[in-house]
Each structure stands twice: as C-alpha cells, then as structure tokens.
A and B are shown apart, each in its own frame.
Chain A
Amino acid sequence: MKIKIKSSKNFTLFIIMMMIFILLSIVMPSKFLTGINLQSMASQFPEFGLLALAMMMAMITGGIDLSIISISNFTGVIAALILSGSMDSSTPAGVAILFAVVAVVAVSMVCGLLNGLLIAMIGVPPILATLGTQGLFLGLAIVITKGHSVSGFPEVFMGLGSGTVIGIPVPFMIFALIAFLVSVLLKRTRQGFNMFMVGANPVVSKFSGVNNTKVLINTYMLTAVLAGLASLIMISRVNSMRPGYGTAYLLQAILVAVLGGTDPDGGFGSVKGLVMGIVILQITQSGLNIMSFSPFFKKFIWGFALLAIMVINFLLHKYNEKKRIQSMTDMKKAAKAG
C-alpha cells in the first residue's frame, strides 16, 4: 500500500515539473529555453540544493535542522578568511584551497556534533537545540568578522562556483555527486536504514536494537557537513562572504524538502523527490525572474506553494484513506453476500 502512495507522489511531482517546464518553454522560448538560462539555473541551485538535502535528512529522522544556514555562514567565514589570507601571504592557491576545505569539513563536523549531542544525548527537541545553535554559530561568524564581509579569493577557487566543464557548471556536478552519495547512504547503508527507522518510531527502533543516539548524532553531523560544502560553493560563486548571507534559504530548504515528499514528522523522504522539488523551485524562480516579478512577490509565492502542497497532501491522504476503508467495507460486504 505504502509503495503505491509513494510512487504516485513522485509521479505527481514529475508531472508538475514537466508541466511547468513545458509551459515556460512555450510561453517564452526565446528567453527560457536557451543554453545560457539553463546553464545559469544549473549553477544557481546547487548551494541551496545541498542545504535542502541536509534538511531532508534531518526531517527523515523526525527532526529539523534550523542551524544549517548559520553553519554555512560560520564555515563560509572561516574558509573566506583562510583563502583571502593566502592572497596576502602568497601561499600557493592549491594549498590554501585544500586547507580551507579541510577546515570547513572539520568545523562543520564539530558544529553538527554539538547539535547531535544536544538532541540525542540530552534529549533537547531538535527544533529548540538547532534554534539555539543557530544563534550561536551565526554569532560566532559575526564575532570573527566583526560584522564585515570578507572577499578576495584565489582565481582558481572561483572555478568551483562559476566554472564550467564541457558546458556543465561545476557546482551542478558537485551537487549531482553528493545527491548520488546521499541517495546511496539512505538506501544502501545501515545508517540510512536506521535513520528511517528512528524517524518512523524511535521507541520501536530502540527496542529493535538500533542505537538511536549514534544514528542521530551521525545524522546531524552529516547535515552540518552538507551545509559546510554548500558554503564553499556559496563563497566561490559570490566571491565574498558576509555573515547573514542566505537566510532566505531556510524557508526554501524546508519548502523543497516538503514539496519533494519528505514527511516532516519523520520516516519518509527520498532524494529523487527532493531533486524534482529543487528543479520545480528553480525553474519557477527562473520563470518569475524572466517575467521580472519583484522579490516580494516571489516571497509570497514560496509561502503559498508550501501551504498549497501541504493542503494537497492532506486531501490526498484523506482521499486514499477513505478509498481504503471503502474497499475494505466492500470486501466485507462481498464476503457476507458470498
């Protein structure tokens, strides 16, 4: 039964995605369906796509991670300081980049560990724990830079955010690789399986021998690392880092995760659905940009879309439930008659 609903959900998403794509292509083929537009779309979404992947993983375990944007800010500032510092001290670019990447991964893991410890060891609800650490990490980013922005990175590093290889933007390839890895993690590994178990019912999973604490700590470390990687793409794309950058991504990440079929109560979600959600968001955004709608109207649209999707899901669920009961009573009647 569940598989049927699941596949139909992804199918609906696919139809919506294709409809929007075809609609935009027909309405304005000269602007939407061009190589440049497709390329720019593919280089725009990866940074927030990674954040959405992180949000989805937290939601699968029945939690939420409000601190991902702040982690991105914090690690972004650290990477930016290392990279711009290397420009002054004439360190080779390769060494500086390697150093920055290692620092980002290490720092984000520590951030994630803090979230994980608060949530899994002390039992603080995820929304509260990450609400607090959100302020903490953003605060650290502000304290380090004194609120100013950091800019000026080695030329090579810009390739990460704005380069292309045979016409395909580098950030898009990074996103594709990581999305694939997350998909493998969720489907083929013990950690992934346990994440769904914990999300569906933590008590049952605990008594089935799953180490809930370990699973949750790993999950929040993974979401933090994804946020850290997003920050690398972010700073290389805009060539500077300012604490507070990308706060709008929080709502969009939740929106895309829910749009992509992730259950905010936990236990359900897929990379396939999420990627379709991201594509829908990105082509709609691009369409709205071409039609030169104001950013405020877009804000309205995102809120509206989030609510609409959830209402539709609710109605679909109710309808399916009704049909199930109907078919059961039909069967009973048939059995009686027979």
Chain B
Amino acid sequence: MNLKKLTKKNETYLLLIVIVFSIVINTINPVFMTVENIFDLLRSSSGTAILAIGVFVVLLSGGIDVSCTAIAICGQYIAINVLIASGVDNIVMAFLISISVGLALGAVNAVFISIFNLPTLITTLGTSSLFHGLLLEFVGTKAVNVGNIPDSIKAFGKMNILTIARPDGTEYGLSIFFLILVIVVVVTWLILKFTMIGRGIYAIGGNREAAQRTGYNIRKIQFFTYCYAGLLAGVMGVMHLALIRYSNPNYIVGTELNIIAAVVLGGTRISGGTGTLTGTLIGVALITILQKNLVLIGLSSYWQEFFIGMIIVLGVTITYAQNKINARRKLSIDSV
C-alpha cells in the first residue's frame, strides 16, 4: 500500500498513538515491552476484543448494543452453574451452554429491534437490566470460588499454543485465548466481506432506505446482527471465566461503555456504515494499555476512569472535527 493512502487512514494515526504511548510507558518502566508482558496483555484482552467485535458489527449496522456485557455474564454464570449441578467437567459443554444462552438473549434483542423497530440504545438498555435482573433473581447471586470451578475450565485457562522457557527454567506462553480471537476475527471478516448478510450490514448502516430499495431484507440482517453479537458475548463469558477462575454474577456488567469506546476510537462511525476490524482491534489495544498499564508508570488506578474519558473525548473530537473540515472543503470546491 502506498504512503499517501496510509496517511489518509484513521487506523494509521491510531496505531501511531498506540506505538508512541507504548514507547513512553516503556521508557518509564522497561517491563512493558517484554514478550512476557505482551503475551499477558494478549491473554487478558482477547475476551474484551471478542466482545468489542460483537459491538463493532452492531455499530456497523447503525445500531448500538449496551446489553452485550449482561449477555456475557448470563452465559458465563448459567454455564458454570449447570456444569457444577450436572457434574459434567467439560470445556466444550461450557462453551455450548454459554453460546446458546448468548444466542437466545441476542435473539430477544433482535426481536425487539427488528420486529418492533424500537430504538436500539433504549432497547438494549432495557434488555440489559432485564437479563441481569433475571439472572440475579432466578439463577443466583453467589460467586463461584476457584475451588468449585471445574478442572477442565482451569486447564483451558492455562493452555498455551506457544511456550517459551525463562532463563530459570520456568515457562510462559501465548494463551489459547489468542487463537480464539484470531478465529473470531477471521470468521467475522469473512462474513462481512463475502456474504450477502455481511454486505447488507454495511449497506443498512450506511443508508437504510437505499439498502431497502436495493432489496436487502433489513429484518433478516438486523436479526442476524444481534444474534451474532449475543453469540460472541457467550464466547467471551467462558473465556473470562477461564481467565480469572472465579465467577461473580456482578462482574463484566458495567464495562459496556468502555467496550463501545474502544470500537468508536477504532474509527467505527456510531451512525453506522463505516468501520474496520483492524481499527476495532487497535482501539481495544489502546483501551487495554490504558487500563492495565497506568500502574506501570506509577499512576494510581483511580486515574483510570478520567484517562479513558479523556481519550474518548479527544478521539471523537478529532474524528468529527476532521469530518466537519472535510465537508466544508468539499462544499467550497463544489461552489467554485
């Protein structure tokens, strides 16, 4: 790709910010740029990235989904409770249960949005409260401690696809979580690039009216979008469980705005139609580095909220100011 094209891309700037930021952190604390820390970052952020991809697809279609975190925790908590109650100790089973819960709850969103045509933000705010309330009321409120977590899930959390030995003989490695993320990225990319539904997601996000007249089935596309986001949330639920080896029905919920922030920082337009997977992944990287590494440069964790808010405000300000300037430039050329 030539340089001129690169300088016009949002992702290039974002990547530059991430790189500069990493260098700054690294000069203050050289622990940051070690392979071990990067592998660790990949392991802990893969789940967030998968959730973000779900939100990304929804945003592309011109909607928004703030219930994804509630769906993820529902999938996780129901899966772990079923596994413990039935005595089945199998990671595939955990994924199956969590994904079916995710799909079902995603379908609930889909019904409200595609059939009743309700505004997406308010619908998903409502379903988020509905799902989480149901989970706490009817499934339980007790956290599952590490002692009660089935062995297969713990083993899955420690599984590596690549191991490197430290000088002292102990080992560290690249977690299997990263492989799942790669699979999700490839599948999502294939869907968006090569299927009618994928092209339709871009189309209805860009111009709903035009997409409808072109013959896209908007209901079907929206239905797919929210179910897919639910499915990914289900996957994330189990990954989160294997990561922290603890299940609290109040976890994950409340982080949805950070996830949306990551996607939006990645250049996805909130009104739909524009955005890339690469941008989303870089956005997640930026938010993760901010969240996990402020401590490395000696800032207390209570600065976190402030910095993330700051980054979102700056990010969207730059994007929309740019849009405004571009629009004005176009107008002035047209009028000449």
A314 vs B123: C-alpha distance in the bound complex, in angstroms? 13
A265 within 8 A of B: yes
Interface residues on A, range: 35 or more
Residue positions of A touching B, CB distance < 8 A: 64, 66, 118, 122-125, 127-129, 131-140, 142-143, 146-147, 247, 251, 254-255, 258, 264-265, 294, 296-304, 306-307, 310-311, 314
- A143 partner residues in chain B, CB cutoff 8 A: 302-303, 306
B residues 133-148 touching A (CB-CB < 8 Å):
133-134, 136-137, 141
Give chain A nearest CB distance to B261 CB in angstroms.
7
Tell me whether A132 and B303 are in contact in the complex, defined as CB-CB below 8 angstroms, given that A297-B137, A303-B130, A306-B125 are known contacts: no
Which of the residues A66, A129, A135, A310 comes within 8 Å of B308, measured between beta carbons? A135
- The 8 Å CB contact of B260, one of A123, A131, A301, A311, is A131
Contact stretch, chosen from B36-44, B93-101, B151-159, B318-326 = B318-326
A300 and B317 form a contact (CB under 8 A): no
Chain B residues with CB under 8 A of A123:
320, 323-324
Binds A, one of B14-22, B112-120, B226-234, B239-247: B112-120
B137 near A132: Cβ-Cβ < 8 Å: no
A301 proximity list for chain B (CB < 8 A):
133
Shortest B64–chain A CB gap in Å is 7
Beyond A128-B316, A132-B315, list 5 extra A-B contacts (CB 8 Å).
A133-B313, A135-B309, A135-B312, A143-B302, A303-B126
For A294, list chain B residues within 8 Å (CB): 136-137
With A64-B121, A299-B133: A134-B309 Cβ-Cβ less than 8 Å: yes
Q: Which of A128, A147, A300 contacts B137 (CB 8 A)?
A: A300
Assembly CA distance A239 to B315 (angstroms): 38
Shortest C-beta distance, B287 to chain A (Å), equals 11
Chain A minimum-CB-distance residue to B141: A296
B122 proximal to A (CB < 8 A)? yes
**How close is A119's CB to chain B, nearest CB, in angstroms?**
10
Which of B117, B129, B130 has the most C-beta atoms of chain A within 10 angstroms of its own C-beta? B129
Q: Are A138 and B122 in contact (CB under 8 A)?
A: no
CA distance A333 to B228 in the complex (A): 48
Interface residues on chain B, number (Cβ under 8 Å):
48
Chain B residues near A140: list those with CB within 8 A.
306
Q: How far is the CA of A304 from the CA of B131 in the complex (A)?
A: 9
Contact partner of A128 (CB less than 8 A), chosen from B117, B141, B270, B302, is: B270
Known: A125-B270, A136-B309. A296 touches B133 (CB 8 A): yes
From known contacts A125-B270, A143-B306, A314-B118, infer whether A300 and B129 are also in contact, taking CB-CB under 8 Å. yes
Dominant SS at the A interface?
A: helix
Q: How far is the CA of A265 from the CA of B120 in the complex (A)?
A: 11
Collect the chain A residues with CB atoms within 8 Å of residue B141's CB. 296
Q: Is the pair B130, A124 in contact by a Cβ cutoff of 8 Å?
A: no
Q: Which of A147, A254, A314 contacts B116 (CB 8 A)?
A: A314
Q: When chains A and B are docked, how far (Å) is the Cα of A136 from the Cα of B261? A: 13
Q: Does B174 contact A (CB under 8 A)?
A: no
Report which of B257, B264, B302 forms a contact with A147, defined as CB distance below 8 A. Answer: B302
User: In whole angstroms, how far apart are the Cα atoms of A123 and B313 in the complex?
Assistant: 12
Complex Cα spacing A258 to B121, Å: 12
Residues of B close to A131: CB separation below 8 A: 257, 260-261, 312
Known contacts A300-B130, A307-B130, A258 near B316 by CB under 8 Å: no
Q: Is B219 an interface residue (CB 8 A)?
A: no
CA distance A302 to B323 in the complex (A): 38
Residues of B contacting A64 in the complex (Cβ-Cβ under 8 angstroms):
121
B116 touches A135 (CB 8 A): no
Q: Nearest A residue to B315 by beta-carbon distance?
A: A132
Distance between Cα atoms of A133 and B257 in the complex (Å): 12
- Given the known A-B contacts A133-B313, A135-B312, A307-B112, are A265 and B303 also in contact in the complex, defined by CB atoms under 8 Å? no
Is B307 an interface position by the 8 A CB rule?
Answer: yes
- CA–CA, A123 and B315, complex, Å: 13
A132 to B261, CA, bound (A): 8
Complex Cα distance, B77 from A6, in Å, reads 44
Q: A123-B324, A139-B307 are in contact. Are A132 and B130 (CB under 8 A)?
A: no
Q: Which residues of A contact B119 (CB under 8 A)?
A: 264-265, 310
Complex CA distance for A135 and B130, rounded to whole angstroms: 24
C-alpha gap A147/B316 in the complex (Å): 27
CA separation between A298 and B321, bound complex, in Å? 42
Residue of A134, A294, A303 with highest tally of chain B CB at under 10 A:
A303
Q: Which residues of chain B come closer than 8 Å to A118, judged between CB atoms?
A: 313, 316-317
B199 within 8 A of A: no
- Which residues from chain B contact A264 at a C-beta distance below 8 Å? 119, 121-122
User: Which chain A positions have C-beta within 8 A of B118?
Assistant: 307, 310-311, 314
Chain B nearest CB: distance from A287 CB in Å? Answer: 17
CB distance from B128 to the nearest CB of A (A): 7
The verdict on A303 contacting B128 (CB below 8 Å), with A124-B320, A139-B303, A139-B307 known, is: yes
21 A-B pairs (CB sep. < 8 Å): A122-B321, A122-B324, A123-B323, A124-B320, A127-B64, A128-B312, A128-B316, A132-B315, A133-B309, A135-B257, A135-B308, A139-B308, A142-B302, A146-B300, A255-B126, A296-B137, A299-B132, A303-B127, A303-B128, A303-B130, A303-B131
